[in-house]
Structure 1
Amino acid sequence: MSAEQANDVVTCPMPSPGHGNADDATDLMDQQGYVDAPYELLARLRAEQPVRRVVFAGVPVWLVTRHEDIRTASKDPRLSNDPRHGNKTVRSAPWVFATENYTVTRNMLRCDPPAHTRLRALVAGEFTPGRIEELRPRIQEITAELLAPVLPLGRLDVISDFAKRLPLTVISEVLGVPAEGRDTFARLAGVYVEMSENDDRRMPRAACEMRDYLIGLLKDKRESNASCDDLLGRLLSADHHEDEVIGMSFLLLVAGFETTANLIGSGVLALLEHPEQLAMLRGQPHLMGQAIEEILRWRGPIKMAPVLRFTTCDVHIGDVTVPGGGEAVLLSYGAGNRDPARFAEPDRFDIRRDSRGHLAFGHGIHHCLGAPLGKAEATIGLRTLLERCDELVLASDPCELTWGHSRFMHGLTSLPVTFRPVPPGATP
């Protein structure tokens, strides 16, 4: 297919709620099901035209939905992650953060080699398998501390009582964010990942506030004469440029918080929706690693790649040639993870499945650096929940569950459950 033919489809051809015209100029995020149940929509788009132009959050983008195309595009150096390569239309969108408040979002996810290579190397040592093993006892301690006050009640909200608090505490301790500042961070991170009609005003404001908070935090670390045994302290002691430390801090805080929270929440819900799988996991706890990978594939925390890519020249993706000149390319991890060309019966949730090759953490040089930490937190968190919470059931009508209004992420806002508490060391 030529670029001219593909350009005929400028907006998502799926009918919007209440309209029957398949050519309605409707933003993808306004399509029925995009927020709470995006997979049917994405499957239709993938089947009809796997590389196509759509409008996404007010920005014209080229949406890529096939697994193999996503993997290929993720490694193509002609697609830049730097929004300064975007065309004027794309860069005019405040949420792209190409011009406003760039300090806080200028991080390794939004740049290309060699800058990306250098920035990633600054923190890669913090997320090695050996370092994650060192963190496991502390993750277990935090898990126990969070569950201790709610377990005797026999009920909890998995999201607010546990799934959000566990990764926020862990990544804050890794970075060196004091306890009194974590609520501020959680609020600002929420603004960054959510979408609303007021995004044009809220997001730049939140970026400024996040920048100011991090500047103050770094200033306090510099002025305290005590040595800092945390990541931010080590970056400062190595005399890295403050703007780079701020950008890195912002990325690690957001990526290390919201995604893992969504993974844990979605994992609990998936098991409750599939009681035979929950029973299997209880009876065969050695399957936990496979279960985590299947949750990541089947209902991963990120449905769209968290950054756009920009064409630096004409790029052939699938059957389409995407023009150069800063066209925006959006990779749908959620669609790729349910591509029947890669995974048999992709809509079936099966913790025994070999889910290797899923795209939940991206692919190529921008593959999520914190993936081992997120999987460790989810593994420890889910295992402990199952050990301490017998007869776990959903405490609300499934139809009443709500999903966050996020461009890129997919996660519940609340997940109330009831259970029979199991004393430490006892068998459920």
Structure 2
Amino acid sequence: MNDPLQDAEFFRDPYPAYARLRGECPVRRVPTGSGGHSAYLVTGHAEAREAFVDPRLSKDTARFFAGRASQRDLHPAVSRSMLATDPPQHTRLRRAVTPAFTAGRVARMRPHITRVVDGLLAHWAPGAEADLMAVLAVPLPVTVICELLGVPEEDRGRVARWSDELFAAGRPDRIDAASHRLADHMAGLVGSGRHEEGSLLHALVGRHDAGLLTETEVVSLAVLMLVAGHETTTHFLGNSLLALLQHPEAMARLREDPDRIPGALDELLRFDSPLGVATFRYSTERLSLGGTEIPEGVPVLIAPGAANRDPAVFPGPDRLDLDRQSPSHLSFGHGVHRCPGAPLARAEVEIALRAVLSRFPAIRLAVPAEELRWRPTRLVRGLESLPVVL
């Protein structure tokens, strides 16, 4: 059996495969890649929520790979990031970045985010053709997270490109090389002091000076915030725009009443999650999940994209319903590893949707939806381009 999460049809539309796998068993063993490797895939909503908080499923991948031969050469700042730790180490590292993403901090950033969106859309007139990924969905979160971190403007194009290359599915050499370029560059910013006072980088360096973080941890957190801070938001926005373009009635409702947009974000996140399959965990002991026995020491993959369309929780899951109450979606994860940047991502997408819907009342897809190109990775569910007629 081939890896069910790696063919071209899955990347274009993963939901039939998710539904089939979930219908067969919400937790099942699946092959992954080549070489006879396998993992346990979690596709049911209840089972995914349970897996996200089960302490027997560890994120400490360094421990998992210890003593195993590997051909990979990921930079330690990437391979041993906060995502790959368990409490209490994870708790300590997370405490260093959460102040940057509080509701109050994000509220103070909203005027600036609005100015960034207005600047990106200022040169576009109704009737023009544009790729909304290139002109809005990519540069908006890149600009915001780089400014939050304190990355100089002249560096942002390069770090965004290296970040994008970390998701080059099927190209481990390219991924490894990008990890070194990105981590080495961020280490240079930290070491040279070439970052803005008051920025997140400045705060992380301050925690290092106080003995609370090592220099490696500062670089690792900076890389993680950069990558996670724009990749997820880029595809949250891109997927939301596409969903509305394919559901003109829903788009019209939001255009007529923009104050409905914040309440619609959870349903848009549920309907087409930017997080397809979460970074892997592994079992530290034998356990039972969803009626499936999982042995000790094997990888476990949780699929929010599948869990968000579980009909046991979301009736008519393949239907976009802006009246649906969807706060239990898992697009930002769940438990201690839930995305700390979720408030910022929501603010960026809300502000961007308001601008697009108000400026371009006749916006439509420039190509048939089946011709759209999707990124060939199971981790991130996102478009490579979104051509529209504004």
The residue identity in structure 2 corresponding to 1:134 is: R
Contact 2:62–2:84 (CA under 8 A) maintained in structure 1 = no
The residue identity in structure 2 corresponding to 1:232 is: L
| Counterpart-to-counterpart distance in 2, 1:41 and 1:234 | 44
Classify the secondary structure of the residue corresponding to 2:197.
Answer: coil
**1:153-172 matched pairs, under 5 angstroms:** 154-172=128-146
Contact 1:85–1:311 (CA under 8 A) maintained in structure 2 = no
Classify the secondary structure of the residue corresponding to 1:53.
Answer: strand
Instruction: State which of 32, 44, 54 in structure 2 corresponds to 1:56.
Output: 32
Q: Percent identity?
A: 41
Q: How many angstroms does 1:33 deviate by?
A: 2.2
Q: Does 1:195 align with 2:155?
A: no
The residue identity in structure 1 corresponding to 2:269 is: L
Structure 1, unpaired ranges of 5+: 1-24, 420-428
Work out which of the two has the higher radius of gyration on C-alpha atoms and give 1 or 2: 1
Partner in structure 1 of residue 56 of structure 2: 78
**1:395-410 matched pairs, under 5 angstroms:** 395-410=366-381
Q: Deviations over 1:197-243 (max 9, x none)?
A: xx231111111111211111112216x8xx71201012112323210
The residue identity in structure 1 corresponding to 2:182 is: M
Contact 1:60–1:90 (CA under 8 A) maintained in structure 2 = no
* TM-score after normalising by structure 1: 0.86
Q: How many angstroms does 1:153 deviate by?
A: 6.5
The residue identity in structure 2 corresponding to 1:400 is: E
Q: Does 1:123 align with 2:97?
A: yes
Q: How many angstroms does 1:407 deviate by?
A: 2.7
Q: Deviations over 1:100-134 (max 9, x none)?
A: 42233322211001100000001111111111101
Q: How many angstroms does 1:142 deviate by?
A: 0.4
| Counterpart-to-counterpart distance in 1, 2:387 and 2:100 | 34
The residue identity in structure 2 corresponding to 1:40 is: P
Q: How many angstroms does 1:368 deviate by?
A: 0.4
Instruction: State which of 164, 181, 185 in structure 2 corresponds to 1:213.
Output: 185
Q: Does 1:335 align with 2:306?
A: yes
Q: How many angstroms does 1:308 deviate by?
A: 0.5
Q: Say if 1:89 and 1:334 are closer, same or farther in 2 by CA, change over 3 A.
A: farther
Partner in structure 2 of residue 185 of structure 1: 159
* Farther-moved stretch of structure 1 (372-381 vs 402-411): 402-411
**1:101-116 matched pairs, under 5 angstroms:** 101-116=75-90
Classify the secondary structure of the residue corresponding to 1:173.
Answer: helix
Contact 1:28–1:54 (CA under 8 A) maintained in structure 2 = yes
| Counterpart-to-counterpart distance in 1, 2:66 and 2:182 | 26
Partner in structure 2 of residue 389 of structure 1: 360
* TM-score after normalising by structure 2: 0.94
CA RMSD of aligned residues (A): 1.8
* Farther-moved stretch of structure 1 (264-273 vs 329-338): 264-273
Instruction: State which of 184, 202, 212 in structure 2 corresponds to 1:233.
Output: 202
The residue identity in structure 1 corresponding to 2:224 is: L
* Farther-moved stretch of structure 1 (118-127 vs 83-92): 83-92
Contact 2:58–2:283 (CA under 8 A) maintained in structure 1 = yes
Contact 1:84–1:91 (CA under 8 A) maintained in structure 2 = no
The residue identity in structure 1 corresponding to 2:246 is: E
Instruction: State which of 133, 150, 156 in structure 2 corresponds to 1:176.
Output: 150
Classify the secondary structure of the residue corresponding to 1:343.
Answer: coil
Structure 2, unpaired ranges of 5+: none
Q: Which has the higher contact order (CA 8 A, sep 6+)?
A: 2
Q: How many angstroms does 1:29 deviate by?
A: 3.1
Aligned residues: 384
| Counterpart-to-counterpart distance in 2, 1:74 and 1:369 | 15
Moved over 6 A (4+): 88-91
**1:9-158 matched pairs, under 5 angstroms:** 25-31=1-7, 33-58=9-34, 59-86=37-64, 92=70, 94=72, 100-151=74-125, 154-158=128-132
| Counterpart-to-counterpart distance in 2, 1:363 and 1:397 | 35
Classify the secondary structure of the residue corresponding to 2:11.
Answer: coil
**1:307-318 matched pairs, under 5 angstroms:** 307-318=279-290
Instruction: State which of 197, 202, 220 in structure 2 corresponds to 1:247.
Output: 220
Classify the secondary structure of the residue corresponding to 2:135.
Answer: helix
Partner in structure 2 of residue 262 of structure 1: 235
